[in-house]
Structure 1
Amino acid sequence: MYHNNNTNSSNSQQQPHQSTPEIPPHRTTLENDLERNKDDEAAGNEIDVPPSSDQDPDSQMRKKQRYHRHSHDQILEMECFFKECPHPDDRQRRELSRELKLNPLQIKFWFQNKRTQVKSLHERHENNLLKAENDKLIAENMRYKEALLHASCPRCGGLTGEMSFDEQQLRAENMRIREEIEKMSAKIQRFDGKPGSSYYNMPSQNQMMPPKSLDQGVGNYRAQTHMIGEMLGDNNEFLGTLPISNDFEKNIVMEIGNVAMKELTNLAMAEKTLWLPGSCGCEILDQDEYLRSFPKGIGPTPLGIKIEASRHSAVVIMDYNKLVEMFMDVNQWANMFCGIISRAWLHQVLEIGLTEIFDGASQVMSAEFQVPSPLVPVRDDYFVRFCKRRSVESWIIVDFSVDQLRPSSFTKSRRRPSGCVITELPNGYSKIVWIEHVELEDNEVHELYKSYVNSGLAFGAKRWVASLGRQCERLASAMATNIPPASIGVLTNGGGRRSMMRLSERMMMSFCTAVGASTANTWTLLTVAGEDVRVMTRKSVDDPGRPSGIVLSAATSLWLPLPSTTVFSFLRSENSRNQWDILSNGGQVVELAHIANGHDTGNCVSLLRVNTQDSSQSNMIILQESCTDATGSFVVYAPVDLMSMNAVLKGGNPDCVALLPSGFAVLPDGPEPMVGSGGCLLTVAFQILVDSVPTSKLSASSVTTVSSLIKCTVERIQAAVCSGRTN
């Protein structure tokens, strides 16, 4: 639907519109014209329509109808801006109007039309999904009815189809109740004369303490959950792989969520008695004090299980409403923490909460948490996320695993109440208090990474907060408009900055996904000249973000006797790149443009060019992003075609640019006292297109070539480190 562009009618803007019983005589013709121009609307073209006829009977002048078709560049710029900000304010509309040489009202109406168009497409897609689901349910119902007509009674052998529907329902309910009674009777006999155990059906960590349950602040819920645990017995599929499909299961989760939210709030606001200073720079939970403060927490801790619990706080440059939205959108959440989350899924929405603010929302999710190295196993958790508005300026987001409702099973990793308390601060800032509380079996971590994992830096609260702060600075940089035009090498074009940063963001996510030990990656261990190199292959077909063919990935990790900050500075600098980059053929690397991503000079997106005599590389440039925080650093890069990059720098769509990112992850090798004086952990990873035909077979020579490439790169870095050329 198009809007009337009343740019020349001052009276209509100053006076409220009053409806009249008669339709202006030109209205029907105008509506027919608008109906005929639906194709222009779908293409994003703005149609300027004259204002309605003047209500004053003395005014007989009518302006001639004008049609204005936006140019391709105008539409492209507005499309790019719409993806970042669908609701521009007055200032942003005025800036766009100056850049595109359009009237601010034209900008306003284009965005209104675009939002209407996107909403219509979204509703049409949802309707199609609902229709398909409805058809599926109808077909399934017909199959059940057909099977019911030919089913036989297990007791008498007669056909149940001869019964009425009500009689069949009563018999089915009767059998269900009988089975439930028999199951409960067996449980009563089993536990007769024994002290009451919790619904875990496993020994607690301290046998002398009373069993823990869910009755903290929820009345007689302890007795209810005890009965539920005994009724469920050995049903390991309850709430684990099956959806929460009825009110009974949903009420259990909601009650646990209330307890988890209270515990997280108390832990976040607790004084120093509960928390001890940790070696990794964050606070560590005192387990003895925790058991005294929360004697009836969410279930006991089984014997032999490792506990990791930490707290960290910081101030980030992001509005608290945007933070809540990001946490409750699984895709935004996974993208924001791409260095920590390898994969994430949203399984079920239990409560949508209040519209747009997520107050009272709850979701069933699962995720894989990783360290950027194939040597550290991922931690996979299945959990429920609760979001609650604590006050006008404060929110609570809490995660807790639902595995505790499985009486006889325990996954390798389980989240006790974990999450964050978000408090609004002036000028678009927010304060974050993060709690990370996990129970897990001690996975087989490679000896190289044991110190890093045990220090709490790998999966603790400090890493989450540091990553969040860095990403918030990155988003703020992407939206910045006050870039000094005289800055040397700084990209100032707004559309070009946004497109280049979107391309770099996709490059970072692709690298982090490919380098870790996610279950989506199948690594094969090879030993090349005494070095362990892990290799895997992927076939890329019809993927606009990757070149088509067979992609070979290789990664290795090693220890270097230098602080992580020194190694990071050496790898990110264009002046030292020719010391390790074999593909540059020793040519000098120069920086063409860069975008700063925060206060730290190491956080930036750069566009590099290699000055080489090789004519085959004359049209190839390198897109590189480097980022660092207190828990680790990345240097990720990918070769990009010059023509494609020119289109991106003009504000073009970066999603179709093919990338195969390679790079480095640099981590401290232990707790904070060792950082700066000890060594660091370096992961080197390459992705190379070995054959442009996806159906081809991988040759042994390709594997040998890539393995030799990564080995040679490692040797060059070690040689530079040992000779002191990193300074």
Structure 2
Amino acid sequence: MEGGSGDDQDASDPQRKKKRYHRHTAHQIQELEAMFKENPHPDEKQRLQLSRDLSLEPRQIKFWFQNRRTQMKAQHERADNCALRAENDKIRCENIAIREALKNVICPSCGGPPVGDDYFDEQKLRLENARLKEELDRISSITAKYMGRPIPQLPPVQPVTMSALDLTVGNFGGQGIGPSLDLDLLPGSSSLAGLPLSSGGGVAELEKSIMVDLATNAMDEFLRLVQAEERLWMKTSPEAGEVLNLDNYERVFARPSQGKNPDLRTEASRDSGLVIMNGVALIDMLVDPNKWMEMFPTIISRARIIEVLSPGLPGNRSGSLQLMHAELQVLSPLVSTREFYFLRYCQHHGPGSWAVVDVSVDSARETQFNSLLQCRKFPSGCLIQDMPNGYSKVTWVEHVEIEDKNPTHRIYRQLIHSGMAFGAHRWLASLQRMCERVASLMVTSISARDLGVIPSPDGRRSMMKLAQRMINNFCSSISASSSHRWTALSGLNDDGVRVTTHKSTDPGQPNGVVLSAATSLWLPVSPQNIFNFFRDERTRPQWDVLSSGNAVQEVAHIANGSHPGNCISLLRAFNSSQNNMLILQESCTDSSGSLVVYAPIDVTAANIAMSGEDPSYIALLPSGFTILPDGRPPDHNLIGGPSTSSSSSSGSSGSLITVAFQILVSSLPSAKLNLESVTTVNNLISTTVQQIKAALNCSGA
């Protein structure tokens, strides 16, 4: 072993043509090698000791160890590269042999060519080759980094010839753009249902690879949809966004024909707007199902991650891929929820730009696809672009196919079939309102006048968190989710009152058996006028049966949005026998609908929240109202006339109202529901509805 000493060039030579080299003796090399085996990175003290022992300069010792470490790294990388090259050659030979064997394979039962298996074998080999090539490129780049020169690559592997079933989705005029999407990988297909599962119950490697392909193709289609102009999208109204031109869509994105199904219905819409939240925070919310549900309590009743296929890059979550389940709702027991099993794929597209796409996938492990309402998501999602001052521009696309085996309830049919109930406009309007609420929650510099009786900003945040939990509880209590079993009572109207019970043991709710009751009705009054009627404390005695006609006074007020109707109030009843009780109320509205939710709360609990303490254990049992547009064209004969507010529905001839109450039947979780409780809540709702109709001059509705 010989090594350059690193001596300087001869300064006396003006042309500096040569370097002087010092050849180490065999003894010096032996001692250096022994030290290298013991410690490849000697410290300065050890190098000085070697310098004295071997009669070498410390700089020579230092350079020898540097050169020796570089040499060892290069040797290891060359060995790894040779092993990988041999493995790749072996795989390539196996691929050639398998392809040749597949050409002549014969089905033992019928004597003909086999059906189906060849596709998955070829697909698996193609994915394995791609993985090996990626690994080879990675090793080669590392080796080149240490050796200081590029590593020659292996000759390219011949591509596998795909079968005639490989169709391209998303062609403009027959010109393929982006990866191909096979027939069996289309949303709603059953190919994934027959794929093997891993022994641990998760997604098998082959199934995972196909899901990655599906998500990638879905991202390509989504980006083209979100950026497409009027050829694919038609404007419906200035407020409600756009709907998809299905004829043009089918010409552009060719899909296999599955025959006409009269029960199938497509809903596809697009909308865009500014949101007061930056892109990173929005992405963090979308990839976390708990935060996602918290942001959309009026739309999402349940959500969970089945498996994380890829966590994505830290910071921006680019490349994140999750297999998820979600149940979406309209806040009424009369409207069935929609269940989706889908992939959620996040991709970073340059500075300040992200895309998140959802696409349905069937799985044999889930049996919910046999439900009466089949729902499939074609590529849907949102494009997020950072704007100045912490805002983001969000473009939302919703594209679903619904199979209604049971007809939609008559009073909600127009709203559902118009696409307004689950469309892009509703998602975006809810996101804008909730982002305003989050921004309001984060405010710290608040004047004493704005705080009112609330003593501090911490108390304000505590009250807002308590009100948000009240909203979440109310939304889950009236959902038609499969976790609830609603029973219809006769009486009030054709729709009747529906009741359900659940055992409450969670902190933040009264312990025992809780009875939830709700009814939905249509009124010929604009949604904005009804919302103003419910949230105004001056008109409360006209509908609040429990207040016994007593007036109420607002003792605390928290604004949580740009619209004056988005606020939290603490109300006190005059001349009430229960002077220690207050009413916590939150009203919220956007162009897709409104809520007015309230719950009794004692003075002690209110003081705990207003002092800034944790409100998680304050028990709430909320009741309230949901107000939705009916989805019909505007009618100037409405009581109160058509609403002109910016937060009102984009065209409606009336309102769909759900009235809901919750009462504690018994403080014992094992107690049974009795007829007296059912009669009480039925009378409570019936009387409330009658008083609302009388106050709004529509008793004949």
Say yes or no: TM over 0.5: yes
The Cα shift of 1:220 comes to 6.5
What does 1:301-450 correspond to in 2, within 5 Å?
303-304=260-261, 305-403=264-362, 412-442=374-404, 443-450=406-413
Alignment-derived partner of residue 476 in structure 1: 439
SS of equivalent residue, structure 1 residue 678? coil
Deviations 1:665-714 (A, max 9, x none): 00111146356462111000000012222222221011001100011000
- Which of 587, 590, 600 is matched with 1:639 structurally? 600
* 1:491–1:240 CA distance, 2 compared to 1 (3 A): farther
614, 618, 625: which one aligns with 1:657:
618
Query: Any gaps of 5 or more consecutive residues in structure 2?
Result: 1-44, 46-101, 117-164, 171-175, 636-641, 644-651
The reply to whether residue 703 of structure 1 matches residue 678 of structure 2 is yes
Aligned match of 2:20:
none
- Counterpart of 1:698, as a letter, is L
Q: Please tell me whether residue 255 in structure 1 is matched to residue 180 in structure 2.
A: no
Tell me, in whole angstroms, the C-alpha distance in 1 between the residues paired with 2:192 and 2:109.
Answer: 13
Q: Alignment partner of 2:534: what SS?
A: helix
Give 2:588's aligned residue: 627
Look up the match of 1:453. 416
Q: Deviations over 1:235-290 (max 9, x none)?
A: 55878999653321111111111111011111111111110112572201001111
- What's the Cα RMSD here? 3.2
Q: CA offset at residue 612 of structure 1?
A: 2.3
- Deviation per residue, 1:497-531 (Å, 9 max, x gap): 11111111111011111112111111001012545
Cα 1:493/1:294, change in 2 over 3 Å: same
Secondary structure at 2:539's aligned position in 1? helix
Q: Do the aligned partners of 1:218 and 1:255 also contact (CA within 8 Å) in 2?
A: no
> Could you tell me which of 555, 568, 575 is aligned with 2:538?
575
Q: Secondary structure at the residue paired with 2:538?
A: helix
**Which secondary structure does the structure 2 equivalent of 1:412 belong to?**
strand
Measure the CA separation in 1 of the matches of 2:185 and 2:106: 17
Aligned pair partner of 1:589 in 546, 552, 560 = 552
Q: Is contact 1:214–1:225 with CA below 8 Å preserved after alignment?
A: no
The alignment partner of 2:490 has SS state of strand
Per the alignment, in what secondary structure is the counterpart of residue 571 of structure 1?
Answer: helix
**How many Å separate the matches in 1 of 2:182 and 2:232?**
25
Correspondence list, 1:52-91, <5 A: none
Asked whether the 8 Å contact 1:584–1:612 carries over to 2, the reply is no
Measure the CA separation in 2 of the matches of 1:536 and 1:554: 7
Deviation (angstroms), 1:594: 1.1
CA contact (8 A) 1:346 1:364 kept: yes
- Do the aligned residues in 1 keep the contact of 2:583 with 2:599 (CA within 8 Å)? yes
What is the identity, as a one-letter code, of the residue corresponding to 2:245? D
When structure 1 is superposed on structure 2, of 593-602 and 437-446 the one drifting more is 437-446
CA distance in 2, matches of 1:588, 1:401: 51
> For the Cα contact (< 8 Å) 1:243–1:348, is it kept in 2?
no
Q: 1:9 is matched with which residue?
A: none
**Alignment match, 1:41:** none
Change (3 A) 1:723 1:267: closer
Which of 601, 616, 624 aligns to 2:564? It is 601
Q: 1: CA distance between counterparts of 2:448 and 2:108?
A: 76
CA distance in 2 between counterparts of 1:465 and 1:357 reads: 21
SS in 1 for 2:565: coil
Q: Higher Cα Rg: structure 1 or 2?
A: 2
1:139-538 to structure 2, matched below 5 A, reads 217=177, 222=182, 235=193, 245-278=203-236, 281-295=240-254, 303-304=260-261, 305-403=264-362, 412-442=374-404, 443-487=406-450, 489=452, 491=454, 493-530=456-493, 532-538=496-502
Shift of 1:544: 1.6
Q: Which letter maps to 2:501? A: T
**1:536-555 pair list within 5 angstroms:** 536-541=500-505, 543-555=506-518
Task: Indicate which of 654, 658, 680 corresponds to 1:679.
Answer: 654
In the alignment, does 2:681 pair up with 1:722? no
Q: Paired residue for 2:688?
A: 713
| Secondary structure of 1:354 counterpart | coil
**How far apart in 1 are the matches of 2:504 and 2:674?**
17
C-alpha distance in 2, partners of 1:288/1:312? 20
Contact 1:457 1:671 in 2 (8 A): no
Q: CA deviation at 1:485?
A: 2.4
C-alpha separation between the residues in 1 aligned to 2:198 and 2:375?
Answer: 13
Local SS of the residue matching 1:655: coil
Aligned residues of 1:213 and 1:225 also touching (Cα < 8 A): no
Q: Using a 3 Å threshold, how does the CA distance of structure 1 residues 717 and 242 change in structure 2: closer, same or farther? A: farther
Identical residues among aligned pairs (%): 46
In the alignment, the residues of structure 1 paired with residue 620 and residue 108 of structure 2 have an alpha-carbon distance, to the nearest angstrom, of 58
Amino acid at match of 2:206: F
Superimposed CA distance per residue, residues 448-479 of structure 1 (whole angstroms, 9 cap, x where no aligned partner): 10111122210000000000000000011111
- 2:650 corresponds to 1:688: no
The Cα of 1:293 is off from its aligned counterpart by 1.9
Counterpart Cα distance in 2 of 1:307 and 1:570: 36
Q: Deviations over 1:639-685 (max 9, x none)?
A: 11210110110001110000111000001111463564621110000
Other structure's SS at 1:313 match:
strand
Q: Which amino acid letter does the alignment assign opposite residue 268 of structure 1?
A: V
What SS is found at the alignment partner of 1:591? strand
Residue 213 of structure 1 deviates from its aligned partner by 5.3
Larger mean CA deviation between 301-310 and 250-259 belongs to 301-310
When residues 234 and 384 of structure 1 are mapped into structure 2, their CA distance, relative to the original with a 3 A threshold, is closer
Number of positions where the alignment pairs a residue of Structure 1 with one of Structure 2: 520
Q: In structure 2, do the counterparts of structure 1 residues 301 and 471 end up closer, same or farther at CA, with 3 Å as the change threshold?
A: farther
Q: Secondary structure at the match of 2:488?
A: strand
Q: Which amino acid aligns with 1:526?
A: L
Q: CA deviation at 1:344?
A: 0.7
Shift of 1:613: 3.8
8 Å Cα contact 2:451-2:460 kept in structure 1: no
Q: Distance in 1 between matches of 2:519 and 2:198?
A: 35
**Any stretches of 5+ residues in structure 1 without a counterpart?**
1-20, 22-176, 192-209
Q: Are the counterparts in 1 of residues 587 and 596 from structure 2 also a CA contact under 8 Å?
A: yes
Q: CA deviation at 1:367?
A: 0.6
Separation in 2, partners of 1:715, 1:438: 38
Pair 525,292 (structure 1): closer, same or farther in 2 beyond 3 Å: same
Match of 2:394, as an amino acid?
A: I
Tell me which amino acid in the other structure corresponds to 2:230: K
Deviation at 1:223, TM superposition (A): 8.4
- The answer (yes or no) to whether the contact 1:403–1:414 under 8 Å persists in 2 is no
Distance, in Å, in 2 between the alignment partners of 1:692 and 1:633 is 32
The amino acid that maps onto 1:533 is V
d(CA) in 2 for partners of 1:721 and 1:242?
60
What SS does the aligned partner of 2:449 have? coil
In 2 relative to 1, CA 544–488 (structure 1 residues): closer, same or farther, beyond 3 Å? closer
TM-score by length of 2: 0.69
CA distance in structure 1 between the partners assigned to 2:266 and 2:341 by the alignment: 17
